[in-house]
Structure 1
């Protein structure tokens, strides 16, 4: 019974939603045909599909224009001065010199880890975090 009810609800929803979508599909088909004809005749004037569709829809759908209510005039607040630009190290994506040095050490330790692992020099049970800690300490000097 619940499966039947769920399917009926989906069908009913789809039916009611299909009515406005049908009109939109007709406009898309009409605009698509016009676009293909203009493309074949080389009269697009440099417009792509999105631009052509926007113009076509504007000519097809005459939506009633409703004027926005006029708001009461408010006094304009004073404009705040622009703050000084932040140093480059504070910009998103910029790294401090300490972070750059840490990443360099991590790369070097990663290369050493790979070489030591391939040579079988990693002590039994040691994982990357322990190796990295010891290597980082060693490279910091």
Structure 2
């Protein structure tokens, strides 16, 4: 009876020791975790230096960690401890290939809605199949991929034209409080009336619009008489004309 009790006590004690050891092993110190992660990554990337082993790596890594973390007493103690079990290599994430643009359906309706390239390639593929001359291993997606490139190279004029850049909105003229109109429109504007979408002009803006109308009329008259300077531009003409009229108190 006593022997059975002793045996049970010994068994229980051994079990507790094993469980405690497993708990300690399962709980890695910060130094052990950091060094294990570095070693696992080196192995996963196949970058372990020749002759390097886990015990050697651990010995140096533990010292480096302790030097970088002087407040960690446990890290300092681990510099002289035996190397723990070697960690496994880190798992590499699988690269996901980008999705390719699918080819048009092989049995798409002929003619209706097809581009010239699709029509030409579809006709070639249909002819190959009808004559039983499709090369071994050739498929419609592969054929379309190469055929469409060949067609584009042979017919550069069929490439989609580039969209013209949108015109930038004109900035407001500082004195007018609105974009500078063309001289033809400037000569017809009523300075007393606000432009569409604009608030009531200030007295200063009304005066500027009156000068602009006069300058627009002057531009029109000089243009009709052939007296405009070679290369004259309306914005510069307006600027010079505006200064002259302002100097006269208008």
If the TM-score is normalised by the length of the shorter chain, which range does it land in? 0.3 to 0.5
TM-score (norm 2): 0.19
| CA radius of gyration, larger in | 2
Higher helix share: 1
Q: Which has the higher contact order (CA 8 A, sep 6+)?
A: 1
TM-score, normalised by the number of residues in structure 1: 0.34
